Amino acid sequence: MSKPHILVVGGAGYIGSHMVLDLLRADYPVVTLDDLSRGHRELLPGGDFIEGDMGNPADLERVFRQYPVKAVMHFAAHSQVGESVEQPLMYYRNNVANTVTLLEAMQQAGIRHFIFSSSAAVYGEPENTPITEDHPCAPTNPYGTTKLTVEHILQDVSRATDLSYCSLRYFNAAGADAAGSIGERHEPETHLIPLVLQVATGERASIKIFGEDYPTPDGTCLRDYIHVSDLTRAHLLALESLLEGGGSATYNLGNSTGYSVKQIIEAARRITGHPSPAITAERRAGDPAILIADSAQIRTELGWQPRYEKIEDIIRSAWAWHQKEAS
């Protein structure tokens, strides 16, 4: 029996392109919709591609008319915390309003399965760690607020219609596909691991540490890193659960281990053999001190198990990609 068509919105981005790759490996027919404002056409590993905007009903109608889409996976949000603080209206427009447009088009087309890439940013400054899914949500930046707003919208729509959804709250996605064909590329780059690796490739002179006065062992922020391929495999499990009639759910995705900014820089130095000088800068607005996931729920309910649990393995996969990009 052939598998149903899956629409990946934002499939030309970092996580979206890895998702397309996993879907193709699992023999799903894949359609990507991306406006290429932040994605890269050349990173798409295959499937059909339509250049378009999820905020444009005509583009969505064209996709749903042309393909028998059964489920939608949404990776098209803007995701830079600092930018969201400086330009909140842009974030509410793209991350919330455009998602409403997408959900409306899905409803009109009779598509009732939705996978949403949410974020640990919904929690804000945690009261305790590791963070479980029932931890209070109090975002400290507009990016996190937009993610939480969409989660509320999904809850309301699912109560009123036959929509079934899964919200996956990412902690820090990192790394690259083991085959080395695709990896992380943002313009501008804001994520720690690719930034420090760009120092090693000579693309930048130093790495900035944003704040050394947090209430953590070494004064720098603690984050839970998850390999992008572990992340996409969790999406695949969530998709299959919905397609088989499973109910809506919200899950954390992380390795449940925290690493400080300084620990990441030191690990990257060991792996690359480059001294990668670091410069201390002021804190960034909206950065919580500690974000560490409790991912027990998705492990129990969907059988998810990360394959990359060591931070060195995650950085090593990213380093292989960055060396290839720089050559």
pLDDT tens-place string over residues 50-79: 999 999 999 999 999 999 999 999 999 999
Based on the domain organization, do 321 and 235 belong to the same domain?
no
Based on the domain organization, do 233 and 322 belong to the same domain?
no
10: helix, coil or strand?
coil
In this prediction, residue 266 has a pLDDT band, given cuts at 50, 70 and 90, of very high
Whole-angstrom Cα distance, residue 311 to residue 108?
Answer: 44
Distances (CA, A) of 102 to 64, 69, 159, 178, 222: 11, 13, 18, 32, 34
Question: Where is average pLDDT lowest: 25-29, 198-202, 281-285?
Answer: 281-285
Q: Give Cβ neighbours of residue 287 (< 8 Å, ≥ 6 apart).
A: 81, 140, 210, 211, 221
The DSSP 8-state label assigned to residue 37 in this structure reads S
In this prediction, residue 125 has a pLDDT band, given cuts at 50, 70 and 90, of confident
16, two tokens = 């979206």
82 is a domain residue: yes
CATH number, domain at 277?
3.90.25.10
CATH number, domain at 140?
3.40.50.720
Where do the DSSP E strands lie in the chain?
Answer: 5-9, 30-34, 48-51, 69-74, 113-119, 164-170, 172-174, 207-210, 222-227, 249-253, 258-260, 278-281, 290-291
Q: Check residue 47 and give left, alpha or beta (phi > 0: left; psi -120 to 50: alpha).
A: left
Based on the domain organization, do 236 and 104 belong to the same domain?
yes
Catalytic residue among 28, 143, 214, 259: 143
Find, among 138, 134, 145, 135, the residue nearest to 124 by Cα.
138
Based on the domain organization, do 72 and 154 belong to the same domain?
yes
Whole-angstrom Cα distance, residue 280 to residue 210?
Answer: 6
Based on the domain organization, do 199 and 108 belong to the same domain?
no
182 is a domain residue: no
Residue 316 in this model has a pLDDT that exceeds 80? yes
Q: What angle do CA 211, 217, 223 make, to 5 degrees?
A: 65
Contacts 24+ apart (CB under 8 A), 201-204: 201/322, 201/323, 201/325, 201/326, 202/326, 203/326
Based on the domain organization, do 270 and 286 belong to the same domain?
yes
199 is a domain residue: yes
Distances (CA, A) of 267 to 80, 82, 91, 315: 24, 25, 33, 8
Based on the domain organization, do 143 and 280 belong to the same domain?
no
pLDDT at 190: 79
What is the number of structural domains in the chain? 2
Tens digits of residue pLDDT in 293-304:
999 999 999 999
Last residue of a domain, one of 233, 253, 273: 253
In this prediction, residue 292 has a pLDDT band, given cuts at 50, 70 and 90, of very high
Residue 286 in this model has a pLDDT that exceeds 80? no
Last residue of a domain, one of 253, 273, 291: 253
179 is a domain residue: no
Residue 143 designated active-site: yes
285 is a domain residue: yes
Residue 249 in this model has a pLDDT that exceeds 80? yes
Q: Give Cβ neighbours of residue 159 (< 8 Å, ≥ 6 apart).
A: none
Based on the domain organization, do 51 and 157 belong to the same domain?
yes
184 is a domain residue: no
In the block, residue with structure tokens 């193709």 = 24
| Mean predicted lDDT score pLDDT of the chain | 95
Residue 184 in this model has a pLDDT that exceeds 90? no
What domain range is 295 assigned to?
192-223+256-326
Based on the domain organization, do 238 and 310 belong to the same domain?
no
Residue 34 in this model has a pLDDT that exceeds 90? yes
pLDDT at 81: 87
Whole-angstrom Cα distance, residue 44 to residue 49?
Answer: 9
Based on the domain organization, do 62 and 168 belong to the same domain?
yes
| Averaged pLDDT, 172-176 | 95
The model's pTM: 0.95
3-class SS string, 190-206: CCHHHHHHHHHCCCCCC
Tens digits of residue pLDDT in 71-121:
999 999 999 888 999 999 999 999 999 999 999 999 999 999 999 999 999
Phi, psi of 115 (to 5 degrees): -110, 120
Residue 185 in this model has a pLDDT that exceeds 90? no
pLDDT at 322: 87
Residue 326 in this model has a pLDDT that exceeds 90? no
pLDDT at 108: 98
187 is a domain residue: no
Q: Give Cβ neighbours of residue 18 (< 8 Å, ≥ 6 apart).
A: 177, 182, 228, 229, 231, 232
Contact present, 242 and 166 (Cβ < 8 Å) = yes
pLDDT at 79: 93
| Averaged pLDDT, 290-314 | 96
Based on the domain organization, do 25 and 118 belong to the same domain?
yes
Strands 30-34 and 164-170: unpaired
Whole-angstrom Cα distance, residue 252 to residue 48?
Answer: 30
102, two tokens = 């997408």
296 is a domain residue: yes
pLDDT at 61: 98
Measure the CA dihedral 159/97/132/16, to 10°.
110
Based on the domain organization, do 106 and 218 belong to the same domain?
no
Residue 222 in this model has a pLDDT that exceeds 80? yes
